[in-house]
Each structure stands twice: as structure tokens, then as C-alpha cells.
Amino acid sequence: MLKKLYKSYGYKALHLIVLALYAIFLIPALLYFWDLQVYGKWIAIYSFFNLIQVLELGHAKFIGNEFNQLIHLDIIKAKALVGGAIRFNFVIGILQIGLVYLFYAYDFFRYFFDDDINRDVIALVLAILFGYRFVIGSYRGLIVKLLNPFGLIYKSFQFALMEKILEFVILVSAAAIGFSLIELAIIWFISKTCYSVIIMIELRKLLPEYYPFWNYGSFSIGAQNFRSSIYYSTSTFLDRLSNDGINLFVSAIVGTTFLPLFSATKTLVNFGSKLSELLLAPINPEMITLWVKGKRSRILDVFNGYWFATAVILIPMYTIGLFFLDDFFVFWTSGKLIFSELLFGALAIIYLVRNYGFIMESFFVGITKTKVIFSTSVLRAAIMLGVIFMFREEGLSSILAGLFFSELFLSAFWLPYWTFKHFKSQSIRPLVFFGYLIGTLWLAILFYMKQDGKPLWLLLLLFIPVLFVLRYQYSTVTISTKEIVVMGIQKLTSFVSKKK
């Protein structure tokens, strides 16, 4: 089992690397063949697809979690859970297609897409994409969740890796040939249906004792579990608002043709998020183990170690990028996009703030504090939407402000409040705990002054306090925590190098 768990972490690392490379190479490939309007339309439509898809994703997540618990207690009930879920999945597929029809019939699309996108095209492309999910895609996604308790989660990462490569081939080939978005959606449907059939055959081999998967349970059991999964769907939807939802706000407020620049800039910033996730993967289990053992002070030290490790990577990376990305951006996008210092700097600061709260949020997920996690998702969405709608006349600035203030509130107040509450017996040094955040906010001032045209010598002078914060944070990390971080990185990097 330990070997399988190790493989799972390794494949997760590989999956994160592939996701980063996927975005880095896909953007210039599509920009080479598509104009900004067509590319912007695809980003907007696919973002809408991802938001509606939360119905089935939340359901699959709930079934996976329940199966993990039941399989060790009552195999018959576990099989009934899966059979009922597969039966009711048919209804979920109809609901998702029905939502697309509802948005089309009542012209709700006008709130999420600008006038350059034909409503008929939007509806037809979405119907085809959800048609694939209805035929087989959602069933495959559901059954893959059954692999987890058997130590086979690494197989799901393998499947996801291959699927990303397939998606890359589909998109680039369709763009190179000159297919319309409707034709692209049809190729998507056919290719991914064939791939899902292959995966279903593989799943039958991996889980022979549970096949046929639909043999047990009933529709009523499926309906009952779907009602219980609404919480997961809602939470997933709220989380996706700050990613896919933002793309739709950009489309509606700024315009579809701006979406490629926004998406490309966000991709560069998100490269840092993949590095953070890569670092957090081996740390998460350690935090849960420490929590179970009651070693609260060690967990706080792991927080501090994570903040230092990510800051020492991300802050220099984003700062150097702000000064030197102009020429690379032009080369990377074949001259179709011009680098925006304001957009890059703003998104970088927003992510750095979010990264500060990310480890606290991940910790609460690990110890299953569902109320804290759900309330965090609600607050993030509420603050973001509130700021955007209050200042929507300001265009892009309202969107960036919504993202910034929502993350700042959560990272500076909400998540620390719950952390202090759970660690009230521990002595928390505010300067150590908030050092990363203070350095990030100081960096935001530096980025603003760079945008305002201040001389380089002044900017370098202002960067010195950030270095002092990093040095101080490093001095407060214990040797044992440094070893946890280093060992985790070594495990993941050694696995990836072996795969190469």
C-alpha cells in the first residue's frame, strides 16, 4: 500500500507538471491558428461548461467519499451506493443539458457573454459537450472514484494525464484544420467518447468484483445520495467562480477578445500555483498525522516552512517576470498579445495572498472541517461578486479588485481566525505568522510603483525589506520542518526523474 501511495504522489506531481506544460504550449498553438475572437469564444464557452458541470462533479466526489468509508464496513451497501449513483447519473445528465436549454430559451447567456458570440453557437456547442458527459463521460468519472480505497488512485492520475494529452491534440488539430467551434465540439465528443470506452474497459479489469457496476442499488438510493451531494456541488461551484467564473465576467464586462490576454497572463501566474501544489502534496499527510498525534506546534511550524519555501520561489519569480517578460510574451504568443504589467502584477499579488491562506485551507480540508471550508468558499464568492457588481463600471479593475479583496479578507482575517481558534493552546508569534503576508503587501506597493514609472534604484531599495522578511522567516523554521519539506521534494522529484 505504501508503494501505491508513493506512486500516487508521484503521478500527482507528474499530473501538475503536465497541466502547467499543457497551458504553456496550448496558448501559442491556438493563437497561431485562431484569431483573438475565436479563441476568446472558446475560453468563454468552455468556462461556462466547467461551471455547469459541478452538478456531476460534486455528485461523483460525494459518492467517492462515501464509498471509501463503506467499502471497509459493508461491501453490499458500497455496491448499492455505486449502482444507485449510476442510475441517477442519467437524471443529472438531463439536468445539465436542461440548464443549457434554460439559459438559451430565456437568453440568460447575455449576462455571461458579450454580443460578439452568437447565442445559437453557444447553446449548440454546450449541448454537444454535455452530450458527451451524458453518454459516457460522467459515468467514467464516477467509477474512477472507486479506485481510491484500493490504493489505485495513481491510475486515475494516469488516466487524467492521457486525457490532457488527448485534449491538446484535439484542440490544436481542430484549430490547424480550420474547424468551427461546432465542428470542434463534435470531434471532442467522438474522441473523448472513444477514450472513455477504453478507460471503462480498463476499470472493469481493475475492479472485476464490482462489475457490472449498475447491478446493485436502486434509483431511490441514487436520488437520496444526490440530495446529500448538493453541498459538494455548491462548494465546487463557489470555488470555480474565482477561476472559470472570472473568465465569464471578463467576457461580459471587458469583452471576449480580451480573454486570450487575460487567460495567457493568468497561465503564467498559475505556473507558480502548480509549484505550490507540488510542494504541498507531500506536506498535507504530515500535517494530518501531526494533528492526530496532537503535535499542534509542529503544524504551525510546517505552515511557516511552507510560507518560506513558496515565498522564496514565487516572489523572485514574479518580480523578475514583471521586469523581463515583455519580449518573451511577444515571442510566446506570436506577437498577437502585448504583455500587460498591470494585469500580471495584479494577478501575481492576488495569487501570493491566496497562497498564504492556501495551506490553512488545505489543513482544514485534511482534518474534515467542512463548515470552515464551506463558509470560506461562500465568503470568497460573496466578496468577489459584491465588489465586481458594485464597481462594474470600472471594467477590468472591478474584477481584479474583487479577486484581491476576497482573498485578502480570507487570508488576513477569516482563515487566521479559525487557525487561532484551533491552536488556542499554542503560543503564536504574530510576526512569524503574518510575515509572509506583510512581505506580500509590501511587494504590492513595489509593483504599483513599477507601474507608476518609478526609477529602478528606488524599486531595488524597496525590495530590501522583502528580503529581510524572508530571512527572518527562514530563521524561525525548525530543522525538523526543513527536513519534511526537503524529503517531500526529493520523493516527488526522484519519481519524476525515474519516469523520464
102-145 tens-digit pLDDT:
999 998 888 888 777 788 999 999 999 999 999 888 888 888 88
Choose the most confident range, by mean pLDDT, from 95-99, 203-207, 327-331: 95-99
pLDDT score recorded for residue 1: 43
Task: Name which residue leads in pLDDT, 45 or 472.
Answer: 45
6 band by pLDDT with thresholds 50, 70 and 90: low
pLDDT score recorded for residue 277: 80
pLDDT score recorded for residue 31: 93
Same domain, 155 and 282: no
pLDDT score recorded for residue 442: 93
Residue 114 lies in domain: 2-234
Same domain, 273 and 370: yes
Same domain, 396 and 319: yes
Q: Tell me, what amino acid is at 53?
A: Q
Is it the case that residue 425 has pLDDT exceeding 70?
no
pLDDT score recorded for residue 49: 95
Percent of the chain residues past pLDDT 90, beyond the cut:
41
Same domain, 270 and 346: yes
25 band by pLDDT with thresholds 50, 70 and 90: very high
Same domain, 317 and 210: no
Average pLDDT over residues 49-56: 92
Same domain, 261 and 402: yes
pLDDT score recorded for residue 483: 65
Same domain, 307 and 205: no
Average pLDDT over residues 413-417: 94
pLDDT score recorded for residue 496: 45
Average pLDDT over residues 324-337: 89
Residue 247 placed within a domain: no
Residue 245 placed within a domain: no
- Among the ranges given (230-234, 344-348, 427-431), the one the predictor scored with the smallest mean pLDDT: 427-431
10 band by pLDDT with thresholds 50, 70 and 90: low
151 band by pLDDT with thresholds 50, 70 and 90: confident
Residue 244 placed within a domain: no
Q: Tell me, what amino acid is at 280?
A: L
Is it the case that residue 495 has pLDDT exceeding 80?
no
pLDDT score recorded for residue 8: 55
Domain boundary (234, 269, 299) is at 234
Residue 210 placed within a domain: yes
Average pLDDT over residues 313-333: 90
487 band by pLDDT with thresholds 50, 70 and 90: low
Domain boundary (234, 268, 303) is at 234
Percent of the chain residues past pLDDT 70, beyond the cut:
92
d(CA 52, CA 41): 17
470 band by pLDDT with thresholds 50, 70 and 90: confident
Same domain, 166 and 273: no
Residue 348 placed within a domain: yes
Same domain, 226 and 334: no
208-265 residue pLDDT tens: 877 777 778 788 888 888 888 888 889 889 989 988 999 999 999 999 999 999 999 9
Residue 426 placed within a domain: yes
Residue 248 placed within a domain: no
Residue 333 placed within a domain: yes
Q: Looking at the 3D structure of the chain, how many domains does it have?
A: 2
- Mean per-residue pLDDT over the chain, rounded: 86
Same domain, 322 and 186: no
Same domain, 201 and 263: no
Is it the case that residue 387 has pLDDT exceeding 90?
yes
SS (H, E, C) the chain: CHHHHHHHHHHHHHHHHHHHHHHHHHHHHHHHHCCHHHHHHHHHHHHHHHHHCHHHHHHHHHHHHHHHHHCCCCHHHHHHHHHHHHHHHHHHHHHHHHHHHHHHHCCHHHHCCCCCCCHHHHHHHHHHHHHHHHHHHHHHHHHHHHHHHHCCHHHHHHHHHHHHHHHHHHHHHHHHHCCCHHHHHHHHHHHHHHHHHHHHHHHHHHCHHHCCCCCCCCHHHHHHHHHHHHHHHHHHHHHHHHHHHHHHHHHHHCCHHHHHHHHHHHHHHHHHHHHHHHHHHHHHHHHHHHHHCCCHHHHHHHHHHHHHHHHHHHHHHHHHHHHHHHHHHHHHCCCCCCCCHHHHHHHHHHHHHHHHHHHHHHHHHHCCCHHHHHHHHHHHHHHHHHHHHHCHHHCHHHHHHHHHHHHHHHHHHHHHHHHHHHCCCCCCCHHHHCHHHHHHHHHHHHHHHHHCCCCHHHHHHHHHHHHHHHHHHHHHCCHHHHHHHHHHHHHHHHHHHHHC
Task: Name which residue leads in pLDDT, 6 or 297.
Answer: 297
Same domain, 208 and 260: no
Task: Name which residue leads in pLDDT, 449 or 498.
Answer: 449
Choose the most confident range, by mean pLDDT, from 43-52, 204-213, 306-315: 43-52
369 band by pLDDT with thresholds 50, 70 and 90: confident
Return the half-sphere exposure (C-beta side, CA atoms, 13 A cut-off) of residue 397: 4
